[in-house]
């Protein structure tokens, strides 16, 4: 079975390929000739995921799933949330997003946060949503060289390491994306 994952992000693609059963041939946007950046203009993570999956299905005709992820920080009233990827502005720099986040948390005692991933599946025009949550805290200084996005500052609950310090195999057991992906995988069983 061929299925498109609506992403240009090679890190996400690598994580997801490691999770999917072998009978699913995962294609990226680049594999189907989609070079444009699919807009994320919705007000919620759910709507962004649905919009991307529908765009691929309607424009390219492929069955598709798309995800959207947000980091929700308690002391910031859920920000950056749906704006996580572009939190520091249009440049979409992981480093600048982390810098802004840490500056806004400076002096705050409550550093609790959660990652939320929503996957929208558009398969033979059936549309289904899957959601995964990873609870944790924001550390004061980035740590680790693995991962991407906010991984160097997000320490999952019951771990001493950030996502960026954990091996991918361990992160894939507990991450928000892994939890949502497991629901998608279970759907295909």
Q: What is the Cβ-side half-sphere exposure of residue 189, based on CA atoms within 13 angstroms?
A: 8
- Give the torsion sign (CA, 177, 101, 161, 158): negative
The burial of 104, by beta-carbon neighbours within 10 Å (0-12 exposed, 13-18 middle, 19 or more buried), is given as middle
Q: Give the helix, strand, coil percentages of the chain, each rounded to 5.
A: 35, 25, 40
Active-site option among 67, 68, 106, 145 = 68
**Dihedrals phi, psi of 118, to nearest 5 degrees:** -120, 130
- Give the torsion sign (CA, 46, 51, 52, 56): positive
**Dihedrals phi, psi of 132, to nearest 5 degrees:** -130, 140
> How far is 65 from 40, CA to CA, in rounded Å?
15
> How far is 105 from 109, CA to CA, in rounded Å?
8
68 among known catalytic residues: yes
Residues carrying an active site annotation: 68
């Amino acid at each position: 079975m061929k299925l498109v994952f609506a992403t240009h992000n090679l890190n996400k693609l690598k994580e997801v390929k490691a999770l999917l059963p072998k009978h699913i041939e995962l294609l990226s946007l680049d594999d189907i000739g989609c070079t444009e950046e699919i807009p994320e203009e919705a007000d919620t993570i759910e709507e962004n995921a649905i919009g991307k999956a529908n765009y691929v299905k309607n424009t390219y005709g492929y069955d598709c799933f798309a995800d959207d992820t947000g980091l929700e920080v308690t002391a910031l009233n859920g920000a950056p949330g749906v704006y996580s990827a572009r939190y520091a502005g249009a440049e979409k720099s992981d480093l600048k997003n982390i810098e802004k986040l840490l500056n806004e948390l400076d002096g705050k005692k409550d550093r609790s946060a959660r990652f939320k991933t929503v996957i929208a599946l558009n398969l033979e025009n059936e549309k289904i949503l899957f959601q995964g949550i990873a609870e944790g805290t924001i550390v004061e200084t980035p740590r680790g060289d693995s991962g991407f996005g906010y991984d160097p500052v997000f320490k999952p609950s019951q771990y001493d390491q950030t996502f960026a310090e954990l091996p991918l195999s361990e992160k894939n057991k507990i991450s928000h994306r892994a939890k949502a992906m497991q629901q998608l995988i279970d759907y295909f069983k």
